[in-house]
Amino acid sequence: MLTIRKSQDRGYADHGWLQSFHSFSFAGYHDPAHMGFGNLRVINEDRIAPGTGFGTHGHRDMEIISYVLSGELAHKDSMGNVKAIPPGDVQRMSAGTGVMHSEFNHAAGQTTHFLQIWIEPNVRGIAPGYEQKAFADAEKRGALRLVASPDGAAGSVKIHADARLYSGLFQGADAVSVPLQPGRKTYVHLVRGALAVNGQALSGGDAALIEDETALSLADGNDAEVLVFDLAG
């Protein structure tokens, strides 16, 4: 079964300094039909105005991934990490027993556009942790590049969750087909462009929620950037 959720059906909040689309219930947006998918809990598409950002705040027992699309995200946390996250980098923060952090856009005249992703951990009460790695576009073209996994396979960032995250870039004749494991869920989030997912047309911001299918096929891309989540059922 494949269900399409259109970009315009997501929740939306405009805070002036922050514009955010919510794929699942978050903060002031609550939809009992969209509380998460498998162990994927949050995908927020955020745009932070220049010179603004999220002040210091806390998280606990959550795997948090930041995926920057344009601009740059400045990260500072209670573990002592002070990092800049550019496009192409994937940042993983394991909140564990508790972490405080802030995220800012210090660039003048440039909006920071990024995805904030939360995945429920399969172990709680661990020491907080941080990891950040760069993934070249060449590794993603016409392919699904593993960028986050429970075991850090293929140089991916390591998450404490039964989930794997892949990133891909598709244009024209680029195509991929991969088998899907029984009993698991697959969530496809089209970051930008256009792409056919199992023959169904998606546009930027759309998602495909997949259960009880044997394969995933991606084709007919037009400037497409896509995230594919392999999730616990």
What is 131-195 written as a DSSP string?
EEEE--GGGTBTS-EEEEETT-GGGPEE-SSSEEEEEEEEEET--EEEE--TT-EEEEEEEEEEE
Residue 149: both structure tokens together: 């996994």
Whether residue 181 sits in one domain with residue 157:
yes
In a domain, 97, yes or no: yes
Domain range holding 53? Answer: 11-134
- Checking if the pLDDT of 221 tops 90, the result is yes
Whether residue 205 sits in one domain with residue 123:
no
Question: Most distant CA pair in the chain: distance in Å?
Answer: 48
In a domain, 78, yes or no: yes
pLDDT tens for 160-196 read 999 999 999 999 999 999 999 999 999 999 999 999 9
User: Contact, 200 vs 209, CB < 8 A?
Assistant: no
- Checking if the pLDDT of 201 tops 80, the result is yes
- Checking if the pLDDT of 82 tops 90, the result is no
d(CA 194, CA 205): 10
Number of domains in the chain: 2
The CATH number covering residue 217 comes to: 2.60.120.10
H runs (alpha helix) in 47-92: none
Pick the range with the lowest mean pLDDT from 44-53, 170-179, 212-221. Answer: 44-53
pLDDT tens for 8-34 read 999 999 999 999 999 999 999 999 999
